[in-house]
Structure 1
Amino acid sequence: MTDLVALGADALMIVILTFAVYLPRHHRRDMVVAYLSFNVGVLAVSTALSVSSVAAGLGLGLFGVLSIIRLRSEELSQIETAYYFSALALGLLGGVDVPLGYSVPLMALIVAVTCISDSRWIGRGMQRQVVALDRAYPDAAQLRAALGERLGGRILSVSVQRLDFVNDTTLVEVRFRPGSRAGGAPDIAVDGRAPVPCAEREVPGAREAVA
Protein backbone atom coordinates (compact mmCIF):
# COMPACT_ATOMS: atom_id res chain seq x y z
CA MET A 1 0.00 0.00 0.00
CA THR A 2 2.86 2.34 0.85
CA ASP A 3 4.48 1.66 -2.52
CA LEU A 4 1.25 2.46 -4.35
CA VAL A 5 0.88 5.76 -2.50
CA ALA A 6 4.47 6.70 -3.41
CA LEU A 7 3.86 5.81 -7.06
CA GLY A 8 0.67 7.82 -7.08
CA ALA A 9 2.41 10.80 -5.49
CA ASP A 10 5.15 10.66 -8.11
CA ALA A 11 2.60 10.48 -10.93
CA LEU A 12 0.68 13.45 -9.53
CA MET A 13 3.80 15.57 -9.05
CA ILE A 14 5.27 14.91 -12.49
CA VAL A 15 1.92 15.73 -14.13
CA ILE A 16 1.76 19.01 -12.21
CA LEU A 17 5.38 19.80 -13.04
CA THR A 18 5.04 19.16 -16.78
CA PHE A 19 1.46 20.12 -17.65
CA ALA A 20 0.73 22.82 -15.06
CA VAL A 21 4.16 24.44 -14.73
CA TYR A 22 6.44 23.73 -17.70
CA LEU A 23 4.12 23.50 -20.73
CA PRO A 24 2.13 26.73 -20.13
CA ARG A 25 5.38 28.67 -19.69
CA HIS A 26 7.71 27.19 -22.32
CA HIS A 27 5.34 25.55 -24.87
CA ARG A 28 7.62 22.67 -25.89
CA ARG A 29 5.68 19.45 -26.37
CA ASP A 30 8.84 17.44 -27.08
CA MET A 31 10.27 18.30 -23.67
CA VAL A 32 7.02 17.24 -21.97
CA VAL A 33 7.41 13.80 -23.56
CA ALA A 34 11.05 13.72 -22.48
CA TYR A 35 10.28 14.68 -18.86
CA LEU A 36 7.47 12.17 -18.51
CA SER A 37 9.50 9.34 -20.06
CA PHE A 38 12.55 10.28 -18.01
CA ASN A 39 10.57 10.29 -14.78
CA VAL A 40 8.85 6.96 -15.47
CA GLY A 41 12.16 5.39 -16.51
CA VAL A 42 13.91 6.50 -13.32
CA LEU A 43 10.92 5.37 -11.28
CA ALA A 44 10.93 1.92 -12.89
CA VAL A 45 14.69 1.42 -12.51
CA SER A 46 14.82 2.63 -8.91
CA THR A 47 11.83 0.45 -7.98
CA ALA A 48 13.43 -2.60 -9.60
CA LEU A 49 16.77 -1.96 -7.90
CA SER A 50 15.12 -1.58 -4.50
CA VAL A 51 13.80 -5.17 -4.65
CA SER A 52 16.74 -6.82 -6.45
CA SER A 53 20.13 -8.02 -5.29
CA VAL A 54 21.99 -5.58 -7.58
CA ALA A 55 23.64 -2.73 -5.74
CA ALA A 56 21.47 0.34 -6.02
CA GLY A 57 24.47 2.64 -6.28
CA LEU A 58 25.82 0.76 -9.29
CA GLY A 59 22.47 0.76 -11.06
CA LEU A 60 21.79 4.44 -10.44
CA GLY A 61 25.34 5.29 -11.52
CA LEU A 62 24.83 3.53 -14.84
CA PHE A 63 21.50 5.24 -15.30
CA GLY A 64 23.14 8.58 -14.54
CA VAL A 65 25.71 8.00 -17.27
CA LEU A 66 22.92 7.32 -19.76
CA SER A 67 21.08 10.47 -18.70
CA ILE A 68 24.21 12.60 -19.17
CA ILE A 69 24.62 11.22 -22.70
CA ARG A 70 20.99 12.09 -23.42
CA LEU A 71 21.42 15.62 -22.07
CA ARG A 72 24.52 16.16 -24.22
CA SER A 73 22.73 15.14 -27.42
CA GLU A 74 21.00 18.54 -27.67
CA GLU A 75 21.86 21.97 -26.35
CA LEU A 76 19.43 22.68 -23.52
CA SER A 77 18.96 25.79 -21.45
CA GLN A 78 19.70 25.78 -17.74
CA ILE A 79 15.96 25.96 -17.04
CA GLU A 80 15.20 22.87 -19.12
CA THR A 81 18.09 21.03 -17.46
CA ALA A 82 16.62 21.95 -14.07
CA TYR A 83 13.30 20.40 -15.09
CA TYR A 84 15.20 17.27 -16.13
CA PHE A 85 16.74 16.87 -12.70
CA SER A 86 13.44 17.64 -10.99
CA ALA A 87 11.87 14.78 -12.95
CA LEU A 88 14.84 12.62 -11.96
CA ALA A 89 14.49 13.46 -8.27
CA LEU A 90 10.73 12.79 -8.31
CA GLY A 91 11.29 9.38 -9.88
CA LEU A 92 13.92 8.44 -7.31
CA LEU A 93 11.78 9.54 -4.37
CA GLY A 94 8.84 7.55 -5.74
CA GLY A 95 10.86 4.40 -6.45
CA VAL A 96 13.24 3.98 -3.54
CA ASP A 97 12.16 2.73 -0.15
CA VAL A 98 11.65 6.06 1.64
CA PRO A 99 8.96 6.65 4.31
CA LEU A 100 5.96 8.54 2.96
CA GLY A 101 6.44 11.16 5.66
CA TYR A 102 9.65 12.15 3.89
CA SER A 103 9.10 11.31 0.22
CA VAL A 104 5.76 13.06 -0.37
CA PRO A 105 6.75 16.40 1.28
CA LEU A 106 10.07 16.32 -0.58
CA MET A 107 8.25 15.77 -3.88
CA ALA A 108 5.97 18.71 -3.15
CA LEU A 109 9.00 20.82 -2.21
CA ILE A 110 10.75 20.04 -5.52
CA VAL A 111 7.69 21.03 -7.56
CA ALA A 112 7.11 24.19 -5.48
CA VAL A 113 10.72 25.36 -5.74
CA THR A 114 10.79 24.71 -9.50
CA CYS A 115 7.51 26.56 -9.97
CA ILE A 116 8.60 29.59 -7.95
CA SER A 117 12.13 29.83 -9.35
CA ASP A 118 10.81 29.64 -12.94
CA SER A 119 8.17 32.28 -12.28
CA ARG A 120 8.08 35.43 -14.38
CA TRP A 121 8.38 37.41 -11.15
CA ILE A 122 11.97 36.19 -10.75
CA GLY A 123 14.19 38.46 -12.84
CA ARG A 124 11.15 40.16 -14.36
CA GLY A 125 11.97 42.39 -17.32
CA MET A 126 15.48 41.04 -17.89
CA GLN A 127 16.40 39.37 -21.17
CA ARG A 128 19.44 37.54 -22.50
CA GLN A 129 20.69 37.61 -26.07
CA VAL A 130 23.77 36.49 -27.99
CA VAL A 131 24.49 39.35 -30.39
CA ALA A 132 26.86 39.47 -33.37
CA LEU A 133 27.98 43.03 -34.18
CA ASP A 134 29.41 44.02 -37.55
CA ARG A 135 32.34 45.82 -35.96
CA ALA A 136 35.11 45.02 -33.47
CA TYR A 137 34.60 46.92 -30.19
CA PRO A 138 37.68 46.74 -27.95
CA ASP A 139 36.35 49.63 -25.83
CA ALA A 140 33.78 48.51 -23.24
CA ALA A 141 31.92 51.86 -23.09
CA GLN A 142 31.47 52.01 -26.87
CA LEU A 143 30.33 48.38 -26.89
CA ARG A 144 27.68 48.99 -24.23
CA ALA A 145 26.50 52.15 -26.02
CA ALA A 146 26.18 50.34 -29.34
CA LEU A 147 24.31 47.45 -27.75
CA GLY A 148 21.97 49.78 -25.88
CA GLU A 149 21.08 51.66 -29.07
CA ARG A 150 20.46 48.49 -31.07
CA LEU A 151 18.55 46.57 -28.38
CA GLY A 152 16.65 49.58 -27.09
CA GLY A 153 17.25 48.95 -23.41
CA ARG A 154 19.54 49.32 -20.43
CA ILE A 155 22.55 47.02 -20.61
CA LEU A 156 23.05 45.10 -17.38
CA SER A 157 26.04 42.92 -18.23
CA VAL A 158 28.15 42.13 -21.29
CA SER A 159 30.36 39.10 -21.85
CA VAL A 160 32.52 39.25 -24.99
CA GLN A 161 32.75 35.77 -26.52
CA ARG A 162 34.78 36.66 -29.61
CA LEU A 163 36.54 39.84 -30.73
CA ASP A 164 37.59 39.45 -34.37
CA PHE A 165 39.81 42.24 -35.74
CA VAL A 166 40.35 40.41 -39.03
CA ASN A 167 36.66 40.27 -40.00
CA ASP A 168 35.81 43.32 -37.86
CA THR A 169 33.10 41.61 -35.77
CA THR A 170 32.22 41.19 -32.12
CA LEU A 171 30.20 38.32 -30.62
CA VAL A 172 28.80 39.07 -27.16
CA GLU A 173 26.38 37.63 -24.64
CA VAL A 174 24.34 40.48 -23.22
CA ARG A 175 21.75 40.77 -20.47
CA PHE A 176 19.55 43.84 -20.66
CA ARG A 177 16.32 45.39 -19.49
CA PRO A 178 14.13 46.50 -22.44
CA GLY A 179 12.59 49.96 -22.44
CA SER A 180 15.11 51.54 -20.08
CA ARG A 181 17.74 54.09 -20.92
CA ALA A 182 19.90 52.88 -23.80
CA GLY A 183 23.44 51.77 -23.12
CA GLY A 184 23.31 51.46 -19.36
CA ALA A 185 26.73 53.09 -19.10
CA PRO A 186 27.50 56.42 -17.40
CA ASP A 187 28.00 59.58 -19.47
CA ILE A 188 31.61 60.12 -20.46
CA ALA A 189 33.39 63.50 -20.66
CA VAL A 190 35.47 63.89 -23.82
CA ASP A 191 38.47 66.31 -23.86
CA GLY A 192 37.17 68.17 -20.82
CA ARG A 193 33.84 69.02 -22.45
CA ALA A 194 30.42 68.33 -20.97
CA PRO A 195 29.46 64.65 -20.70
CA VAL A 196 27.80 63.24 -23.78
CA PRO A 197 24.75 61.03 -23.15
CA CYS A 198 24.99 57.49 -24.43
CA ALA A 199 22.14 57.95 -26.90
CA GLU A 200 23.83 61.03 -28.43
CA ARG A 201 27.31 59.59 -28.84
CA GLU A 202 28.50 59.17 -32.37
CA VAL A 203 29.32 55.61 -33.27
CA PRO A 204 32.72 55.62 -35.01
CA GLY A 205 32.43 54.78 -38.68
CA ALA A 206 28.84 56.01 -38.96
CA ARG A 207 29.69 59.02 -41.16
CA GLU A 208 31.75 56.91 -43.52
CA ALA A 209 28.84 54.43 -43.81
CA VAL A 210 26.41 57.26 -44.61
CA ALA A 211 28.79 58.81 -47.15
Structure 2
Amino acid sequence: MEFLDIPLFDDDFFKMMFRFILNFTFLTVIIRFVYYPSSKRKDYVFTYYLISLIVFFLCFTLKKYNLDIGMALGLFAIFGIIRYRTDPIDIKEMTYLFVVIGVSVINSLANKKMSYAEILAANALIIFILIIIERYWALKQEESKFIVYENIENIKPENYEILKSDLEHRTGLTINKVNIGKVDFLKDTAEVTIFYFKNN
Protein backbone atom coordinates (compact mmCIF):
# COMPACT_ATOMS: atom_id res chain seq x y z
CA MET A 1 0.00 0.00 0.00
CA GLU A 2 1.29 3.42 -0.94
CA PHE A 3 0.48 6.99 -0.10
CA LEU A 4 1.64 9.70 -2.52
CA ASP A 5 3.87 7.13 -4.24
CA ILE A 6 5.61 6.25 -0.96
CA PRO A 7 5.09 2.81 0.65
CA LEU A 8 3.46 2.99 4.06
CA PHE A 9 5.47 0.01 5.30
CA ASP A 10 8.10 -2.46 4.17
CA ASP A 11 10.29 -5.14 5.70
CA ASP A 12 13.24 -2.78 6.10
CA PHE A 13 11.45 -1.18 9.05
CA PHE A 14 12.29 -4.11 11.34
CA LYS A 15 15.86 -4.16 10.09
CA MET A 16 16.18 -0.42 10.77
CA MET A 17 14.79 -0.70 14.31
CA PHE A 18 17.02 -3.64 15.18
CA ARG A 19 20.11 -1.86 13.90
CA PHE A 20 19.06 1.34 15.63
CA ILE A 21 18.83 -0.47 18.98
CA LEU A 22 22.16 -2.16 18.31
CA ASN A 23 23.80 1.13 17.34
CA PHE A 24 22.30 3.06 20.26
CA THR A 25 23.46 0.39 22.71
CA PHE A 26 27.07 0.54 21.56
CA LEU A 27 26.97 4.34 21.39
CA THR A 28 25.76 4.48 24.99
CA VAL A 29 28.65 2.29 26.10
CA ILE A 30 31.15 4.50 24.26
CA ILE A 31 29.69 7.89 25.16
CA ARG A 32 28.24 7.35 28.61
CA PHE A 33 30.54 4.72 30.11
CA VAL A 34 33.89 5.32 28.35
CA TYR A 35 34.02 8.98 27.34
CA TYR A 36 31.95 10.78 29.98
CA PRO A 37 33.59 9.38 33.17
CA SER A 38 36.96 10.76 32.07
CA SER A 39 35.83 14.07 30.59
CA LYS A 40 32.65 15.10 32.46
CA ARG A 41 31.62 17.11 29.38
CA LYS A 42 27.83 16.94 29.18
CA ASP A 43 27.73 19.27 26.18
CA TYR A 44 29.72 16.80 24.08
CA VAL A 45 27.57 13.90 25.26
CA PHE A 46 24.56 15.68 23.76
CA THR A 47 26.49 16.45 20.56
CA TYR A 48 27.78 12.90 20.10
CA TYR A 49 24.37 11.33 20.54
CA LEU A 50 22.63 13.68 18.12
CA ILE A 51 25.32 13.56 15.42
CA SER A 52 25.62 9.78 15.58
CA LEU A 53 21.86 9.26 15.38
CA ILE A 54 21.52 11.63 12.43
CA VAL A 55 24.40 9.90 10.66
CA PHE A 56 22.84 6.50 11.32
CA PHE A 57 19.43 7.39 9.90
CA LEU A 58 20.97 9.33 7.02
CA CYS A 59 23.13 6.38 6.01
CA PHE A 60 20.33 3.87 6.41
CA THR A 61 17.94 6.01 4.38
CA LEU A 62 20.38 6.53 1.52
CA LYS A 63 21.64 2.96 1.63
CA LYS A 64 19.03 1.86 -0.91
CA TYR A 65 20.62 4.08 -3.54
CA ASN A 66 23.86 2.06 -3.59
CA LEU A 67 25.96 4.95 -2.36
CA ASP A 68 27.52 2.99 0.49
CA ILE A 69 31.27 3.53 0.07
CA GLY A 70 31.09 6.95 -1.55
CA MET A 71 28.61 8.20 1.01
CA ALA A 72 30.68 6.93 3.92
CA LEU A 73 33.80 8.64 2.62
CA GLY A 74 31.80 11.79 1.95
CA LEU A 75 30.49 11.88 5.51
CA PHE A 76 33.98 11.56 6.93
CA ALA A 77 35.16 14.33 4.62
CA ILE A 78 32.33 16.61 5.70
CA PHE A 79 32.81 16.06 9.40
CA GLY A 80 36.57 16.10 8.98
CA ILE A 81 36.48 19.80 8.12
CA ILE A 82 34.23 20.77 11.01
CA ARG A 83 35.69 23.71 12.90
CA TYR A 84 33.97 25.56 15.71
CA ARG A 85 35.76 28.88 15.30
CA THR A 86 34.53 30.37 18.56
CA ASP A 87 35.11 27.21 20.58
CA PRO A 88 37.78 24.91 19.09
CA ILE A 89 37.33 21.18 19.66
CA ASP A 90 40.10 19.41 21.55
CA ILE A 91 41.87 16.55 19.82
CA LYS A 92 40.33 14.01 22.17
CA GLU A 93 36.80 15.27 21.57
CA MET A 94 37.39 15.32 17.81
CA THR A 95 38.64 11.73 17.99
CA TYR A 96 35.52 10.60 19.81
CA LEU A 97 33.45 12.43 17.19
CA PHE A 98 35.07 10.30 14.49
CA VAL A 99 34.51 7.19 16.60
CA VAL A 100 30.76 7.72 17.04
CA ILE A 101 30.38 8.63 13.36
CA GLY A 102 32.35 5.55 12.33
CA VAL A 103 30.32 3.24 14.56
CA SER A 104 27.07 4.65 13.19
CA VAL A 105 28.26 4.23 9.61
CA ILE A 106 29.32 0.63 10.25
CA ASN A 107 26.03 -0.30 11.89
CA SER A 108 23.88 1.36 9.24
CA LEU A 109 25.70 0.45 6.02
CA ALA A 110 26.59 -3.18 6.74
CA ASN A 111 25.01 -5.40 4.08
CA LYS A 112 24.63 -9.11 3.42
CA LYS A 113 28.36 -9.44 2.84
CA MET A 114 28.92 -8.69 6.53
CA SER A 115 27.40 -10.97 9.15
CA TYR A 116 25.98 -9.79 12.46
CA ALA A 117 28.83 -11.60 14.18
CA GLU A 118 31.27 -9.36 12.32
CA ILE A 119 29.25 -6.25 13.16
CA LEU A 120 29.16 -7.16 16.85
CA ALA A 121 32.87 -8.01 16.82
CA ALA A 122 33.76 -4.68 15.18
CA ASN A 123 31.76 -2.70 17.74
CA ALA A 124 33.10 -4.74 20.65
CA LEU A 125 36.70 -4.33 19.51
CA ILE A 126 36.29 -0.56 19.17
CA ILE A 127 34.90 -0.33 22.70
CA PHE A 128 37.59 -2.65 24.08
CA ILE A 129 40.40 -0.61 22.53
CA LEU A 130 38.85 2.65 23.76
CA ILE A 131 38.67 1.31 27.32
CA ILE A 132 42.27 0.09 27.25
CA ILE A 133 43.62 3.37 25.89
CA GLU A 134 41.38 5.59 28.02
CA ARG A 135 41.94 3.90 31.36
CA TYR A 136 45.31 2.19 31.14
CA TRP A 137 47.47 3.64 28.36
CA ALA A 138 46.47 7.30 28.32
CA LEU A 139 49.23 9.61 29.51
CA LYS A 140 48.46 12.34 31.99
CA GLN A 141 47.95 15.71 30.37
CA GLU A 142 50.18 18.44 31.78
CA GLU A 143 48.76 21.94 31.82
CA SER A 144 50.20 25.32 32.76
CA LYS A 145 48.90 28.42 34.46
CA PHE A 146 50.36 31.94 34.53
CA ILE A 147 50.43 33.66 37.94
CA VAL A 148 51.60 37.06 39.19
CA TYR A 149 53.32 36.28 42.48
CA GLU A 150 53.89 39.00 45.08
CA ASN A 151 56.21 37.33 47.59
CA ILE A 152 59.43 37.68 45.63
CA GLU A 153 61.52 36.55 48.59
CA ASN A 154 60.47 33.01 47.72
CA ILE A 155 61.71 33.19 44.13
CA LYS A 156 65.31 32.66 45.24
CA PRO A 157 66.70 29.28 44.14
CA GLU A 158 67.20 28.16 47.74
CA ASN A 159 63.51 28.88 48.47
CA TYR A 160 62.14 26.86 45.56
CA GLU A 161 60.38 24.30 47.76
CA ILE A 162 58.84 27.09 49.85
CA LEU A 163 57.64 28.79 46.65
CA LYS A 164 56.17 25.56 45.32
CA SER A 165 54.46 24.76 48.63
CA ASP A 166 53.00 28.27 48.86
CA LEU A 167 51.63 28.10 45.32
CA GLU A 168 50.14 24.65 45.94
CA HIS A 169 48.44 25.96 49.08
CA ARG A 170 46.98 28.95 47.23
CA THR A 171 45.90 27.18 44.06
CA GLY A 172 44.95 23.80 45.48
CA LEU A 173 46.92 22.11 42.71
CA THR A 174 49.67 19.52 42.86
CA ILE A 175 52.45 21.36 41.06
CA ASN A 176 55.14 19.54 39.09
CA LYS A 177 57.31 22.48 38.15
CA VAL A 178 57.53 26.25 38.60
CA ASN A 179 59.16 28.57 36.07
CA ILE A 180 60.05 32.09 37.12
CA GLY A 181 59.74 34.77 34.47
CA LYS A 182 59.89 38.56 34.66
CA VAL A 183 60.60 40.06 38.09
CA ASP A 184 59.47 43.59 39.02
CA PHE A 185 61.35 44.75 42.13
CA LEU A 186 59.53 48.09 42.14
CA LYS A 187 56.18 46.35 42.63
CA ASP A 188 57.63 43.34 44.47
CA THR A 189 56.02 40.94 42.01
CA ALA A 190 57.21 38.14 39.78
CA GLU A 191 55.61 36.36 36.85
CA VAL A 192 55.63 32.61 37.42
CA THR A 193 54.25 29.72 35.40
CA ILE A 194 53.15 26.59 37.20
CA PHE A 195 52.84 23.17 35.57
CA TYR A 196 50.46 20.50 36.85
CA PHE A 197 48.66 17.39 35.67
CA LYS A 198 45.05 17.79 34.64
CA ASN A 199 42.70 15.78 36.82
CA ASN A 200 40.26 13.70 34.75
Which residue matches 2:121?
Answer: 105
- Describe the superposition over 1:89-112 as per-residue Cα deviations: whole angstroms up to 9, x where unpaired: 110111112321211111111122
- The reply on whether 1:131 has 2:148 as its aligned counterpart is no
- Describe the superposition over 1:6-64 as per-residue Cα deviations: whole angstroms up to 9, x where unpaired: 3322111011222223333322221111101111122122223321154641x334433
- Structure number with higher relative contact order (C-alpha < 8 Å, ≥ 6 residues apart): 2
RMSD after superposition: 3.8
Instruction: Give the direction of change, closer, same or farther, for the CA distance of 1:100–1:3 in structure 2 (3 Å limit).
Output: farther
Instruction: Give the direction of change, closer, same or farther, for the CA distance of 1:176–1:31 in structure 2 (3 Å limit).
Output: closer
Instruction: Give the direction of change, closer, same or farther, for the CA distance of 1:177–1:72 in structure 2 (3 Å limit).
Output: closer
Q: Structure 1: how far apart are the matches of 2:82 and 2:95?
A: 14
Aligned partner of residue 25 in structure 1, secondary structure: helix
Q: Structure 2: how far apart are the matches of 1:10 and 1:61?
A: 19
- The reply on whether 1:50 has 2:63 as its aligned counterpart is yes
**Paired amino acid for 1:68:** G
Q: Structure 2: how far apart are the matches of 1:36 and 1:2?
A: 21
Match of 1:88 among 77, 97, 101: 101
**Paired amino acid for 2:91:** Q
2:72–2:105 Cα contact (<8 Å) kept: no
2:175–2:196 Cα contact (<8 Å) kept: no
Q: Structure 2: how far apart are the matches of 1:170 and 1:61?
A: 48
- The reply on whether 1:64 has 2:76 as its aligned counterpart is yes
Consecutive unaligned residues in structure 2, runs of 5 or more: 1-13, 150-156, 169-173, 183-189
1 or 2, which has the higher helix percentage? 2
Which residue matches 1:32?
Answer: 45
Instruction: Give the direction of change, closer, same or farther, for the CA distance of 1:10–1:55 in structure 2 (3 Å limit).
Output: closer
Q: Structure 1: how far apart are the matches of 2:72 and 2:125?
A: 22
**Paired amino acid for 2:131:** C
Which residue matches 1:184?
Answer: none
Aligned partner of residue 70 in structure 1, secondary structure: coil
1:49–1:56 Cα contact (<8 Å) kept: no
**Paired amino acid for 2:122:** L
Instruction: Give the direction of change, closer, same or farther, for the CA distance of 1:116–1:67 in structure 2 (3 Å limit).
Output: same
- The reply on whether 1:7 has 2:20 as its aligned counterpart is yes
Between the two proteins, the alignment pairs up a number of residues equal to: 158
Alignment of 1:199-210 (within 5 A): none
Aligned partner of residue 75 in structure 1, secondary structure: coil
1:14–1:36 Cα contact (<8 Å) kept: yes
Superposition TM-score, scaled by structure 1 size: 0.57
**Paired amino acid for 1:129:** E
Q: Structure 2: how far apart are the matches of 1:18 and 1:8?
A: 15
